[in-house]
Structure 1
Amino acid sequence: MRAHIGHDLLLLPGVSGIVVDDRGRLLLARRSDTGGWAVLAGVVEPGEQPADAVVREVREETGVEVRVERLLGVAMHPVHYPNGDRCEYLNVTFLCSVAGGTATVNDDESLEVGWFDPADLPPMEPYSRLRVEMAVRDAKEAWFAPPGSRHPALVEPSM
């Protein structure tokens, strides 16, 4: 698709998984494109439900099998990649528990993966931090940016 549209803006369906183990630690990945730590995320494939997509993405990126526990939030998230590609993701974030597997770098999207205590997280861009906060605060309702607003954590990061 990029061969046809170049670096122009694409609107894509995305998912994120906040994966929590039985000790309350969060699974994060250090991205190969930016070098920064982030929550696990990816694009929903045609015909795929978002919950199935997050299970697949976490498995593909880390080797960890997860169960989707509940919806954490929904928001638009703009991203400008180092290669010049621009995307805006309609991101659906899920809270996930561990069903099996061992965390390891499982594809070329990550430099490393690791488990982190919520009180001792590595530096992350604001939208990753917001999604982690959704899980840690354990609110009963999903988070969303109020209509007509532009939440500061959703402003395009400089990568």
Structure 2
Amino acid sequence: MSSDAIKKVRPAAYAVCVEDDRILLARWISPTGERLWTMPGGGLDHGEDPYDAAIRELAEETGYQVELERLLGVDSYHVHYPPDPQHAFPRDFHGLRIIYQGRVTGGELRNETDGSTDLAAWIPLAEVEQLDRIPLVDIAVALYRERPALGRIPRDS
């Protein structure tokens, strides 16, 4: 990657909420209009604590209040994007995702309006593999099931 690439680090926080063998997911709308399932959560506001961001984002995307019960882990990924019509320079993107386990304590399920997601739903865990989803869903489910001591799921390289 050339040194003139735009470098960006994006910290984000997510919550894994599982009840009755169902997981709470949100459907993300990509910049190209593709719809993929993801974990409820998202980017931290400048200066925001990840714990608070996960609670805020989950409420925005699902309508629920959540209590975070434990830190499941951290996922880090790095992607190089070539120049495109929206970005004159190549982009060097580093995503840092903090993943908590949460429990719904109030609110009502609803869809986000005017946001990055358009649908929130409880999906049976057994059906997650059949969904069109981003890799974060698989990472979060693995963290929830395996609870690795170091809080990370190694990526296939």
Measured against the shorter chain, the TM-score band is 0.7 to 0.9
The residue type equivalent to 1:144 in the other structure is R
Moved more, 58-67 or 100-109: 100-109
The whole-number CA distance in structure 2 between the counterparts of 1:18 and 1:27 is 7
> Structure 2 CA distance, aligned partners of 1:42 and 1:29?
11
CA gap of 1:142–1:20, structure 2 versus 1, over 3 A, is farther
Query: Which amino acid counterpart does residue 11 of structure 1 have in structure 2?
Result: V
2:139–2:153 CA contact under 8 A, matched in 1: no
Task: Decide which structure has greater strand share.
Answer: 2
The alignment status of 1:100 with 2:106, answered yes or no, reads yes
The amino acid across from 1:25 in the alignment is: R
Deviates more, 1:105-114 or 1:71-80: 71-80
Conserved 8 A contact 1:118-1:136: no
Query: Out of 69, 83, 94, which is 1:88 matched to?
Result: 94
TM-score (norm 2): 0.76
Bigger CA radius of gyration: 2
Q: Matched residues in 1 for 2:45 and 2:119: separation?
A: 24
Q: Flag as ranges the 4+ runs of structure 1 deviating above 4 A.
A: 82-86
Partner of 1:29: 26
TM-fit CA distance, 1:61: 1.1
Give the secondary structure class of the aligned counterpart of 2:127. coil
Trace 1:12-51 onto structure 2 (pairs within 5 A).
12-21=10-19, 23-33=20-30, 34-51=34-51
Structure 2 residue 114 is matched with structure 1 residue 117: no
Give the percent of matched residue pairs that are identical in Structure 1 and Structure 2: 26
Partners of 1:142 and 1:19 in 2: how far apart? 21
* 2:137 corresponding residue in structure 1: 128
Instruction: Encode CA deviations 1:89-144: one digit per residue, 9 max, x unaligned.
Output: 2211101110111221123211211101111112323232111121133x263522
Deviates more, 1:26-35 or 1:70-79: 70-79
Deviations for 1:48-77, whole angstroms, at most 9, x for unmatched residues?
A: 211111000000111111010111111212
Q: CA RMSD in A?
A: 2.5
Give the TM-score normalised by the residue count of structure 1.
0.75
Determine if contact 1:71/1:142 at 8 Å carries over to the other structure. no
How many residue pairs get matched? 140
